[in-house]
Each structure stands twice: as C-alpha cells, then as structure tokens.
Amino acid sequence: MKKDRGVRKIKGQSDEDKEKREDLANEIEGLKTDIAIAQNSIASTQAKIEENNKKINNASVNSTVDGIITKIADDTNPYTSDGTFITILASKEMRVKGQINEQNVYAINVDEPVTIRSRVDADKTWKGTITKIDTESKQENNNDMFGGSSEENSTKYPFYVTLDSSEGLMMGQHLYIELGQTAAPEMDFSDGTYLYDYYIAYDEDSKPFVWTDNKGKLAKTYIELGDYYEEQMVYSVSGIDKDTKIAYPMEDFTEGMKTVSTSEGEAL
C-alpha cells in the first residue's frame, strides 16, 4: 500500500484550510534549508578568516627600498586610489621643485650644486644638485618677477633639485634654494649680516651694491663689505639686514622695476 506523505485533512477541516497548512509546511521546510545553507557559509567564511589571521600574524613585509611612506590605506579605505595598500617614495627620488623667471633661467645650470634651506629653521639645510631645468613648461605671470625682466609680462620655468639626502624633509615643505655648495666646515653666521658673493654687483666706480626690493620696486642699495670667507663664498656686509629681499644681479636691471619674490621651492 502506498503511504500518503502529504498533509492529511483533519476531520471537519475545509479544503482551503488544508491548502494553507500545506503551504506553511512547505515554507518551513524551505526556511530550514536556507538556515542550513547560511550556517554552512558562515562556518566556511570563519575558517578563511582564521586562516588569514594566522598568515597576517606570522608574516612580515620588507620594503626593497629605503624611503618615505607617502600613502597608506586605513579602515575606511582599504586601498589607496591607485589600488595599492601602501606607497613608499624612495629616498633617492625625493626632489625639490623651484621656479625661476625667463631672465634668470640662464644663471643656473644642470649639475650645479645648491643648498636647500628650511624656511622655519635657517640652520637646517640639505645639499643637492640641479638635475633638470624645464624650459618646455612655462607659466605666464602678469607681474614682473623679483629679479625679472623689464617687460610687462614675465614667464617662469620650473627646475628640479635632486637631494644628496632627504632625511628630515617633509613632502610639500616650502624651502629656500641657494646657489652654491661647499664642503667647508659649518660656521656661525648668526651675529651679523652675511651675503653670498654672487649677489653683489659693482658700479662704474667699483662701489659694491645689491638690488633690493623697496615696497614692490627694484632699488639699488649700496653696501659695505667686511670680512670675506673664501670657502663659504660669503661676505660680511653692512647696509642691509637679514630681512632685506635681494635679487640676483642682471645687466638689464633698472631702478623702479616691479618686484615679487621667487626664491622659494617645494619638496615633492
């Protein structure tokens, strides 16, 4: 005899009630199946998590280069915009970007040594070399640059300095770029006013002067020279102070030119 496995009709129960009982029974069986599948998925996922935790706890990642961490993922962003977890800038790739105008661009040269100085701490410096002068990329400016040409519009070009060491330098830090570099021992220049010799010009009577900024105008300011420190290429001077803004001397300078400072660089 074949056994009936369906829901039996209870005495006094209508056919509609029987159908409802059958539907509920089928729904319960389906939910039981879904629960079993979900529990199996949870167990599988938990096993993978435990396996990955073991790998993380027992693993270390060593960088193949010395450098500075510039990007790192966090809990809210497991990956950086380019898909990497961590980005390291090699120390030898740290550069300083400077700008120079169209008249002064020929006063600097590739492979010329420079000194980079912190704007915050004047005693903190880095040594480097100009590795690129990008005369293909130019930026127009409506004002004459400090130490620039006499034309109404002035063009400035970016140049790049590769550092001997970037220790202590932060990305985006603003800096001063000084031409020249020396292996001479450090000297204390804090007790007076000192000036690199290449900033000094001489008039027809051989009197020394520098081009300075006077309320946005270029001015000729005469100075007196004191002791000369040959290894550092520095003069002790009077007639200006440490806060005086000066320009690299050019033959076409005339008093009254508009000025704006362009002696800053940025680490990148």
| Per-residue model confidence (pLDDT) at position 263 | 45
Q: With respect to residue 35, please indicate whether it lies within any of the assigned structural domains.
A: no
Do residues 156 and 99 touch, judged by C-beta distance below 8 A?
yes
Do residues 159 and 134 touch, judged by C-beta distance below 8 A?
yes
Q: With respect to residue 147, please indicate whether it lies within any of the assigned structural domains.
A: yes
Q: With respect to residue 208, please indicate whether it lies within any of the assigned structural domains.
A: yes
| Per-residue model confidence (pLDDT) at position 19 | 81
Q: With respect to residue 52, please indicate whether it lies within any of the assigned structural domains.
A: no
Helix (H) or strand (E) segment spanning residue 178: strand 174-179
- DSSP state string for 107-118: G--TT-EEEEEE
| Per-residue model confidence (pLDDT) at position 224 | 93
| Per-residue model confidence (pLDDT) at position 244 | 87
| Per-residue model confidence (pLDDT) at position 79 | 55
Looking at this protein, which amino acid is placed at residue 35? I
Q: With respect to residue 34, please indicate whether it lies within any of the assigned structural domains.
A: no
Q: How many helices (H) and strands (E) does the chain have?
A: 1, 16
Q: With respect to residue 215, please indicate whether it lies within any of the assigned structural domains.
A: yes
SS3 149: coil
| Per-residue model confidence (pLDDT) at position 9 | 53
Do residues 63 and 37 touch, judged by C-beta distance below 8 A?
no
Q: With respect to residue 27, please indicate whether it lies within any of the assigned structural domains.
A: no
pLDDT beneath 70: ranges in the chain: 1-13, 58-59, 61, 65-68, 70-71, 74-83, 89-93, 139-154, 181-190, 261-268
State the CB neighbour count (10 A cutoff) for residue 131.
14
Between the alpha carbon of residue 76 and those of residues 48, 71, 82, 86, 261, the distances in Å are: 22, 14, 15, 14, 42
Q: With respect to residue 205, please indicate whether it lies within any of the assigned structural domains.
A: yes
Q: For residue 151, give the CATH number of its domain.
A: 2.40.420.20
As for how many domains the chain has, the answer is: 1
Domain containing residue 108:
90-267
Between the alpha carbon of residue 194 and those of residues 157, 235, 264, the distances in Å are: 28, 5, 19
